[in-house]
Chain A
């Protein structure tokens, strides 16, 4: 790959030969990378061809990942010269890269276990919650809020302690919008002490609303900071407030239950 370009150079320093030019190599690599990019872009277009498209997850997704790894390697190895550079530079770059990939895949696999990116397909919307959809993290296994038929016993258990655990959580996290007595605040939390509920007053519905929050309002998704036991206990406490009709509470919102 040696090219003599001495004619229009500033004049090489006496005796020191210029390093080899890699111009041709770079241009060829640029063309190859362009072709690879066009192939990548073409893959989503297969959507119009059902026979090709049925293989999407099995073939096309891994192919896209392999092609991006190729591009990544080509840019780092050739444009950044790392392939023929010092081991020290390789170590400085590749070791954090490997660590970053480990954490990336660790986090990624957690998200598959705890959430459901491939389950329902997409985000749970407020409409889904209103329709009674209970996400797997909330509805399944040991995390489940107790079904309504078991509600009496569990509620009675919590009642023995005066809903102490739930009240503690409520005092720590909920009173800034729902008021200490649950009466609610204009523009913020609803009144929890009347018989009206916007997203359902049954224990499972209360649990889901508290866990997932309500989009477009100030109500956050508490499952990001509370475990299911806390969510359960605070649901019981909120349920216990029903009908206590706090003085000066907010007007009825939603449906009477």
Chain B
């Protein structure tokens, strides 16, 4: 795959400096990695669309167990929502700093983003723990309810995405720190990570409004 991409860049005389082919431009003159990320995020729309759709298809049809209003705590979730939203701001600032050739500023913003993201995941772990142990919202098995299964699947996959993002952010900050990733051509790596991160944020914007907030209007 990467050999193929390298051939393309050679053939099109776009230059090749020995770094990863993903950051190279393809025959369209576009960075491979950015094109790949947008295509991936397109498929992610379908993925989360179906998870959220399934949640609503079964909404209000649980035969047993606690119901959304019994378990949701709007206060806690609001705080984590706000933190995730702010992490998008720091992420955008990190990308901007990298483009402005200020790697250490970029690294600091990336670490801030990672910290906000990790806090979000921490809140989610606490939330799941409370739902499971205290409110008896079960994910699977004979005592599971439709609400439990669809809720945990949907928000669990989102939390996993955030976790992957946090790991990516930490690795990226180390690479910048060690000057293994430098501004200029490789700024696109940070930009693409930002695309992923912002996407995870917009998924939460949808889940928070439709799953949490609208629940409290009923």
Chain A residues proximal to chain B, CB less than 8 Å: 5, 8-13, 18-19, 21-23, 26-27, 29-30, 33-34, 37, 40-41, 43-44, 47, 56-57, 60-61, 64-65, 67-68, 71-72, 75-76, 78-80, 86, 88-89, 92-93, 95-97, 99-101, 103-104, 107-108, 110-111, 115-117, 120-126, 212-213, 215-218, 221
Which of these, B63, B142, B205, B206, contacts A124 with CB under 8 Å? B63
Which of these, A79, A89, A103, A110, contacts B92 with CB under 8 Å? A79
Given contacts A123-B63, A212-B63, A213-B63, contact A79 B96 (CB under 8 A): no
| Alpha-carbon distance between A10 and B218 when the two chains are bound, in angstroms | 55
Residues of A within 8 A of B78 (CB): 37, 41
Residues of A within 8 A of B41 (CB): 92-93
Per the 8 Å Cβ criterion, residues 117-160 of B in contact with A are: 142-143, 145-147
* Residue from the set A60, A75, A79 with the largest chain B CB neighbour count within 10 Å: A79
Q: List 10 A-B contacts (CB under 8 A).
A: A8-B102, A27-B89, A34-B86, A37-B85, A61-B217, A79-B198, A88-B30, A107-B57, A111-B56, A123-B64
B88 at the interface (CB under 8 A from A): yes
For the complex formed, measure the closest distance between the CB of B10 and the CB atoms of chain A, giving whole angstroms: 23
Q: Is the CB of A72 within 8 A of B206?
A: yes
B73 at the interface (CB under 8 A from A): no
Q: Is the CB of A96 within 8 A of B217?
A: no
Residues of B within 8 A of A5 (CB): 100, 102
Q: Is the CB of B46 within 8 A of A96?
A: yes
| Alpha-carbon distance between A56 and B218 when the two chains are bound, in angstroms | 8
| Alpha-carbon distance between A86 and B35 when the two chains are bound, in angstroms | 10
| Alpha-carbon distance between A33 and B91 when the two chains are bound, in angstroms | 15
Residues of A within 8 A of B146 (CB): 123
| Alpha-carbon distance between A65 and B42 when the two chains are bound, in angstroms | 22
Chain B, 20-42, contact with A by CB distance < 8 Å: what is the 0/1 string? 00000000101000110011011
Q: Which of B11-19, B165-173, B208-216 makes up part of the contact surface?
A: B208-216
Given contacts A10-B183, A43-B217, contact A111 B59 (CB under 8 A): yes
The secondary-structure label for the interface of chain A is helix
The 4 A-B residue pairs whose C-beta atoms are closest, nearest first, are A100-B49, A215-B64, A30-B89, A68-B209
Given contacts A10-B183, A100-B46, contact A217 B56 (CB under 8 A): no
Q: Is the CB of B210 within 8 A of A68?
A: yes
Residue of A nearest to B212 (CB): A44
Q: Is the CB of A23 within 8 A of B49?
A: no
Residues of B within 8 A of A21 (CB): 96, 99-100
B67 at the interface (CB under 8 A from A): yes
For the complex formed, measure the closest distance between the CB of B135 and the CB atoms of chain A, giving whole angstroms: 15
For the complex formed, measure the closest distance between the CB of A17 and the CB atoms of chain B, giving whole angstroms: 11
Residue of B nearest to A123 (CB): B62
For the complex formed, measure the closest distance between the CB of B218 and the CB atoms of chain A, giving whole angstroms: 8
Residues of B within 8 A of A60 (CB): 217
| Alpha-carbon distance between A40 and B215 when the two chains are bound, in angstroms | 13
For the complex formed, measure the closest distance between the CB of B98 and the CB atoms of chain A, giving whole angstroms: 10
| Alpha-carbon distance between A215 and B64 when the two chains are bound, in angstroms | 6
Residues of A within 8 A of B100 (CB): 5, 9, 18-19, 21
Given contacts A75-B205, A111-B56, contact A86 B198 (CB under 8 A): no
Q: Is the CB of B142 within 8 A of A216?
A: yes
| Alpha-carbon distance between A37 and B8 when the two chains are bound, in angstroms | 46
Residues of A within 8 A of B61 (CB): 115, 117, 123-124
| Alpha-carbon distance between A115 and B147 when the two chains are bound, in angstroms | 14
Given contacts A13-B184, A56-B217, A108-B53, contact A75 B88 (CB under 8 A): yes
